[in-house]
Amino acid sequence: KVGMGAHKPRGILCARKLHNKRRLNRWADKNYRKAHTGREFRWDPMGGASHASGICVGKVGFESKQPNSALRKGLRVLLKKNNKKVAVFVPKDGCLNFIDENDSVLISGLGRKGRTVGDIPGIRFKCVNVAGISLKALYLGKKQKKKGQYYLIDQYHKNSICLLYTSDAADEGLGVDLGGRRIIKKK
């Protein structure tokens, strides 16, 4: 009986026993549990995705941590996929001017796998895209954001410019309903 060792099943017919025991005991390993519980889908607002689109709810400024003293520019964004609100950093100097409230924005991680970066407290995401246009292209002046598209209703009203709205908002004043789109006369 010398050298029998750790009292684990041995031999030809013990594979099932060893397999089940290993499967259960792997959960004691912290890294295995972290990788396999699916908890990142519960706490991560983006649900494990690399990017998420949302709607800008408002512009905010975040105070930086000590020893720095600055207001870091950011947004509050309502995500489309799960209606969660997240705080988002806006990179580059002056890029906050390209973003208006109710704009559609695309956000991504800030770079530390869900952790905060640098002296910006509690911010884990950054804005990369506004209204379908890259924030970098707007910053470098290569593209411009679309404000609204102007159309002419007919030849008799050549002097009146009309603005095409693609929302179902109720029109005020004179307007023509085009099935989901409204042409509203500008004054």
DSSP letters of the chain?
A: -TT--S----SGGGHHHHHHHHHHHGGGSHHHHHHHS-HHHHH-TTTT-SEEEEEEEEEEEEEPPTT---EEEEEEEEETTT--EEEEE--STTGGGG--TT-EEEEEE-SBTTB--TT-TT--EEEEEETTEEHHHHHHTS------EEE---GGGTT--EEEE-S-PPP-SSEEE-SS-EEEE--
Mean pLDDT of 76-84: 94
Confidence check: pLDDT of 153 > 50: no
Q: How confident is the model at residue 111 (pLDDT cuts 50, 70, 90)?
A: confident
Mean pLDDT of 4-18: 82
Q: Say which range, 62-76, 90-104, 146-160, has the weakest mean pLDDT.
A: 146-160
* pTM value > 0.85: no
- Token pair belonging to 143: 């593209």
Q: How confident is the model at residue 182 (pLDDT cuts 50, 70, 90)?
A: very low
Spatial neighbors of 110 by CB under 8 A, at least 6 apart, are: 89, 116, 117, 120, 123, 124, 125, 126
Confidence check: pLDDT of 60 > 70: yes
- Please tell me the predicted confidence (pLDDT) of residue 3: 55
Q: Say which range, 41-45, 52-56, 98-102, 162-166, has the weakest mean pLDDT.
A: 162-166
Report which of 49, 84, 82, 75 is spatially closest to residue 129, judged by C-alpha positions.
75
